[in-house]
């Protein structure tokens, strides 16, 4: 009975929710999240533990791609349930390592200290089926208004796909800018999907259209050609 009383039940935030707010100590100073990042996209991600091999490869990759994400108006914020001093020691050690062509890697984005698991519990990053003491590899993509737009979860044993993280940001930005959707395996420059016709008249107009910039496979599936 006592064990059950100690379980903290929190509702995991969902796509479309406001990102749960928190203040935290990080390797780059204190942050007020998501307020400090208003106007930017954010990838908030968790990792199981410092000084672990999969996490080390991920941090080397995130740090190496940090400038690419900045060019996309996207900031990186990491988290694990380790202490600030463990974070600092680990990030210093990463600078000494060489892997997959990456070396002298300096992690400049903030890494949150979350020993009490306050933030991890707010975001559903602790999943008992995997571990009661380590966060899974969660990814929350948060837009400039502080709204959660994408959620990904990876098990402890599987490193993340960084090309997909970048593609997600680009696809969301494209959808917002042009009021379109992106098809399977979309990459920048590929054709996009226009909103489905909302009336019989619009559906007929689209099927009969001779517009060179748009084509339909059927009334409900119309594409816009991207200019090369």
Q: Which position among 55, 200, 216, 222 bears the catalytic label? A: 55
Mean pLDDT computed over every residue of the chain: 91
Q: Which pTM value belongs to this model?
A: 0.91
Locus of tokens 């100073």: 29
At 219, is the pLDDT very low, low, confident or very high (cuts 50, 70, 90)? confident
Euclidean distance between CA atoms 70 and 59, whole angstroms: 16
Within the chain, all domains assigned CATH 3.30.1020.10 are found at: 179-228
How confident is the model over 80-92, as a mean pLDDT?
96
Q: Which helix (H) or strand (E) holds 54?
A: helix 53-71
In the predicted structure, residue 96 carries a pLDDT above the cut 60: yes
Which residues define the annotated binding site for substrate?
137
Within the chain, all domains assigned CATH 3.40.30.10 are found at: 2-160
Is the CATH number of domain 2-160 3.40.30.10? yes
180-211 pLDDT tens trace = 999 999 999 999 999 887 777 777 777 877 77
Q: How far is CA 86 from the centre of its chain?
A: 24
Six-digit token string for 119:
């933030």
Is the CATH number of domain 179-228 3.40.640.10? no
Which residues define the annotated binding site?
137
Q: Which of 157, 150, 148, 193 has the alpha carbon at shortest distance from 17? A: 148
Angle at 54 between CA 63 and CA 147, to 5 degrees: 55
Query: Which residues have a Cβ under 8 Å from the Cβ of 187 and sit 6 or more positions away?
Result: 167
Catalytic residue check, 55:
yes
């Amino acid at each position: 009975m006592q064990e059950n009383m100690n379980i903290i039940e929190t509702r995991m935030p969902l796509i479309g929710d406001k990102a749960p707010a928190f203040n935290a100590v990080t390797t780059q100073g204190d942050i007020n999240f998501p307020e400090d990042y208003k106007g930017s996209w954010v990838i908030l991600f968790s990792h199981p533990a410092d000084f672990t091999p999969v996490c080390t490869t991920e941090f080397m990759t995130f740090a190496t791609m940090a400038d690419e994400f900045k060019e996309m108006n996207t900031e990186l914020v990491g988290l694990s349930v380790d202490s600030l001093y463990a974070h600092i020691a680990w990030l210093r050690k990463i600078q000494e390592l060489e892997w997959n062509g990456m070396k002298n890697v300096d992690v400049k984005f903030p890494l949150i200290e979350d020993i009490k698991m306050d933030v991890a519990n707010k975001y559903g990053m602790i999943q008992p089926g995997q571990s009661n003491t380590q966060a899974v590899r969660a990814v929350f993509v948060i837009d400039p208004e502080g709204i959660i737009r994408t959620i990904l979860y990876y098990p402890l044993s599987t490193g993340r796909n960084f090309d997909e993280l970048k593609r997600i940001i680009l696809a969301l930005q494209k959808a917002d800018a042009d009021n379109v959707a992106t098809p399977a395996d979309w990459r920048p420059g590929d054709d996009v999907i226009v909103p489905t016709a909302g009336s019989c008249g619009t559906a007929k107009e689209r099927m009969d259209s001779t517009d060179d910039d748009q084509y339909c496979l059927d009334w409900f599936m119309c594409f816009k050609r991207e200019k090369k």
